[in-house]
């Protein structure tokens, strides 16, 4: 079955960096666009970034553009979110999710990981 497992969350000071990973299994990873989405009690669900199936195209939400960077390793079935210059309002649960459209982006998120919590605080 399809599985997505995030890791790397934790407590980090403002201005520091953190690297989140998502390891997948149960589907042909190299054929699917992958996303990062975060959730807070205040702002709800917020899409952050996507990476095309081949890694050549990446798109970001304005709120994280220039600070967060998404990458993937098709040989390992994994994606990474590098988060820099972290701010307290980046505190959230971070989910990786699969795009429901094979080989292209723009589809709804059909599978989600369990999420990894990130707290940005001094």
Partner 1 sequence: VLTQSPGTLSLSPGDRATLSCRASQSVTNNYLAWYQQKPGQPPRQLIYGASNRVAGIPDKFSGSGSGTDFTLTISRLESEDFAVYYCQHYGNSPLVYTFGQGTKVEIK
Please tell me the distance from the alpha carbon of residue 25 to that of residue 2, in angstroms, as a whole number: 6
Q: Which is nearer to partner 1, 85 or 114 (CB)?
A: 114
What residues make contact with partner 1 under the rule CB under 8 A?
35, 37, 44-47, 50, 59, 95, 97, 100, 104-110, 112-115
- 71: Cα within 13 Å, side-chain hemisphere: 9
111 contacts 98 by C-beta, under 8 angstroms? yes
In whole angstroms, the minimum distance from the beta carbon of 80 to partner 1 comes to: 19
Instruction: State whether residue 64 is helix, strand or coil.
Output: coil
Minimal distance, residue 95 CB to partner 1, in Å: 6
> Which residue lies nearer to partner 1 by CB, 35 or 72?
35
């Amino acid at each position: 079955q399809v599985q997505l497992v995030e890791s790397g969350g934790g407590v980090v000071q403002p201005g520091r960096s953190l690297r989140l990973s998502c390891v997948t299994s149960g589907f042909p990873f190299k054929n699917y666009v992958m996303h990062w989405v975060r959730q807070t009690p205040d702002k709800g669900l917020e899409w952050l970034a996507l990476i095309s199936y081949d890694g050549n195209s990446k798109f970001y939400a304005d709120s994280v553009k220039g600070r967060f960077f998404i990458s993937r390793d098709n040989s390992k079935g994994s994606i990474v979110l590098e988060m820099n210059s972290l701010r307290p309002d980046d505190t959230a649960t971070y989910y990786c999710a699969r795009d429901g459209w094979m080989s292209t982006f723009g589809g709804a998120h059909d599978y989600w990981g369990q999420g990894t919590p990130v707290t940005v605080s001094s």
